[in-house]
Structure 1
Amino acid sequence: MARSHPLSRSLSCTSPRRPRAAVAGCSPRRRALAAAVFAACIAPAAAVANPRLDAAREALDALDFDAARTALDAALRTGDNDPAVVARIHGLAGQVAAAFGDVDGAAHHFRAWLSLAPGARLPPGLAPRFVDAFERARSELGGRALAIRVRPLRPGDTRVVAIVTADPARLVAGVRVRYRTAGGAVRVIEVLGDRRFSVPLGSVPAGPVHVAAIDRWGNRLAEAHQRVAPPVRRVPLRDAGARRRPLYARGGAWAIVAVGFGGAGAYYGLAARRDGDAIRAMLADPDRYDEDRARALRARGRRSALVANVNFGAAAAAAIVATVLWLRDDEPDEPRGVRIEPTAAGATVTWTARF
């Protein structure tokens, strides 16, 4: 299920401390400095097509923190922001929450900001409560950042497997998969969850598959693109239609022979051991000792030991023949060859041989 991230709670929290009134009592120089700080920290968002961020910037320029909080809440709820814009929204939301004295809310948004933009920094000159909340969030994350991995697609695949390998701020509520079918139609599929996603496509994609981890509002938090790998190309080393070897020239047949000889050797070896144990038992009890029986047991034990050694030798010889034939065997239905398979990072080359 999707997890809720209480932006509205942290942005809508109330506090006896009213930052606008506090700033209004400052000197014009300090008011100008505060407006410059907030304008500088949101200036990159001006290039993003999100009018609610523009409204938040205008509210911060006017030191209207209530309006800025409302605009940021609306900006996040639009659900059509990319990772960079979501990071900016959380960064500003953390600063607004800190301005209202909501330390926990500020730390929450700063964690989200840092998980999306690990190199983020606060603008200089902010009050200690801003810096303390930011450093608390940085310490809790420990340098971790949100990341998603998509399993490479093979020809004919109709399922995308995506894994969220890291979500330190617990922002992910699902994934969105976007692809184009062979008929040219664009399909978008969303699946809720938090870690591992297996998304059925319904048809083979005709081009790249775009996968995005999304939050509860549908904003994109991290994105990955996966292309369908071209068909595998096999380069045969030998003629696949070569004549099959006869039974006596196959390694498997000789392996069976080796197992048979080994089993017979083990049987006679145990028989020789039992005869030896019987002789030792008679020697330990002189009253039960029978010379004729002892002589018969010795003779039978020697024969069993000889047969066991012969079988073990035959098993070893058959095993050697089986190994040699396996190394030389070349089955027609599984030819040896080189397989060249493209991957997301380049290509892999695999040499296949039959043993």
Structure 2
Amino acid sequence: MSRLPPLLVFTLALLLAPVAWGQTPNPDLSRARESLEALRYSEATKALEAARARPGNDRETLLQILELQGVVAAMLNQSAKARTAFQTLAVLAPEHQLTGDYAPRVVTPFFEAKGWVADQNAELRFETAPAEKTGHNIESLAVQATSDVLKLGRSVRFHLHPEGNTWTEQESPLVGGQASVEVKGERIRWWAELLDEQQAVLAQVGSAEAPLTELSPRLEALARALTEPVNPEDSGSHSSLRTASYALLGAAVGTGAAGGYFGWRSRSARKELEDAPVNEQGVTVGITQREAVALDERARSSAKVANILFGVAGATAIVGGTLWVLGAPVTVSAAPTGVTVGGEFP
């Protein structure tokens, strides 16, 4: 089977590249592709330089520009420019593969750049740094760029969402490989982008779809408490809690019954007072005024006692139920939607 000429292979790769990469918001990159399709390499080189200089390229667009810069320079036998573009590409994305079947003059410097990054451990790493926290608040968030051997990073764009507020952006300079931003809150969702001097995105931690979450010391302690499983060896403790829960639940039932009795007394007195016969003038007859006052007082006092007893019964039932749960060999853990309880309830 015959092989296609290298120039034809290169042209086909350029034609298929926009389909593989998708559309780009950078018009200079689109212009560079059109020049490449027409094999106008000098024009393509200028268009790629303009695309690279355009502020605000996203990470995917930046990787496309660097790949094509390396490809065009290699096709023009500009080995130094090809090496620079491919090394930058490999530093940012060591796993990146060429989009197309290129000639050896392109593939060789590309894999040499990938090998250099692997040998020098030169991959750019962008990571979170410890947040500053005091009391119940988060005071600042921080990130760090490590192994930035090409000194590409210039600033960091933080995307912040304190609880109860909307998303905001704040840019901080990268100093000594680190950048931070002041915040205030107990729970903050956030993500960050590392930017170069043209505001192109080099790397990021978190994303708009999967932001990071930072908790205050108080909420961290609560989360740890929720995620620590109950020790199944503490059977004696479980048994004691269960015994106490049964006693409290029994007391709640008894107190509720007493409350029901006094509620019945109140209703009976009120009914007897309301059912007393009246004459044509609307005056109550059949019971004396003293008896009416006594019935009203009994209805009021019995109702008050019933309400108190019902309140005590409810509180006792809550405590008893809590002890019953704590006395079970279960585990309690935090989940994205709330709290989950697992184990066996006898």
TM-score by length of structure 1 reads: 0.52
Alignment of 1:70-109 (within 5 A): 70-109=46-85
Aligned residues: 214
1:173–1:214 Cα contact (<8 Å) kept? yes
Which residue in the other structure is 1:333 paired with? none
Structure 1: runs of 5 or more not aligned: 1-27, 238-339, 345-355
Answering whether residue 121 of structure 2 is matched by residue 147 of structure 1, we say no
Pick from 69, 94, 105: which aligns with 1:129? Answer: 105
RMSD: 3.5
Cα 1:31–1:104 shift into 2, 3 Å: closer
Which residue in the other structure is 2:286 paired with? none
2:138–2:183 Cα contact (<8 Å) kept? no
Give secondary structure in 1 for the equivalent of 2:144.
strand
Please state how far the C-alpha of 1:86 moved relative to its aligned partner.
1.3
Answering whether residue 12 of structure 2 is matched by residue 36 of structure 1, we say yes
Task: Tell me which amino acid in the other structure corresponds to 1:93.
Answer: Q
Give secondary structure in 1 for the equivalent of 2:138.
coil
Pick from 148, 152, 160: which aligns with 1:179? Answer: 160
Alignment of 1:1-355 (within 5 A): 32-122=8-98, 125-142=101-118, 144=121, 145-151=123-129, 153=131, 156-180=137-161, 183-184=165-166, 186-193=168-175, 195-197=177-179, 199-204=180-185, 207-225=188-206, 226-229=212-215, 231=219, 232-233=221-222
Please state how far the C-alpha of 1:53 moved relative to its aligned partner.
2.1
Please state how far the C-alpha of 1:48 moved relative to its aligned partner.
3.2
Distance (whole Å) between structure 2 residues aligned to residue 196 and residue 342 of structure 1:
32
1:173–1:216 Cα contact (<8 Å) kept? yes
Cα 1:32–1:70 shift into 2, 3 Å: same
2:127–2:143 Cα contact (<8 Å) kept? yes
Give secondary structure in 2 for the equivalent of 1:132.
helix
Cα 1:91–1:85 shift into 2, 3 Å: same
Structure 2: runs of 5 or more not aligned: 207-211, 231-331, 337-346
Q: Which moved more, 1:36-45 or 1:227-236?
A: 227-236
Distance (whole Å) between structure 2 residues aligned to residue 59 and residue 140 of structure 1:
31
Distance (whole Å) between structure 2 residues aligned to residue 63 and residue 156 of structure 1:
59
Name the structure, 1 or 2, with higher relative contact order (CA <8 Å, separation 6+).
1
2:66–2:85 Cα contact (<8 Å) kept? yes
Distance (whole Å) between structure 1 residues aligned to residue 225 and residue 5 of structure 2:
76
Cα 1:342–1:200 shift into 2, 3 Å: farther
Please state how far the C-alpha of 1:49 moved relative to its aligned partner.
2.9
1:180–1:187 Cα contact (<8 Å) kept? no
Distance (whole Å) between structure 1 residues aligned to residue 126 and residue 198 of structure 2:
18
Cα 1:91–1:183 shift into 2, 3 Å: same
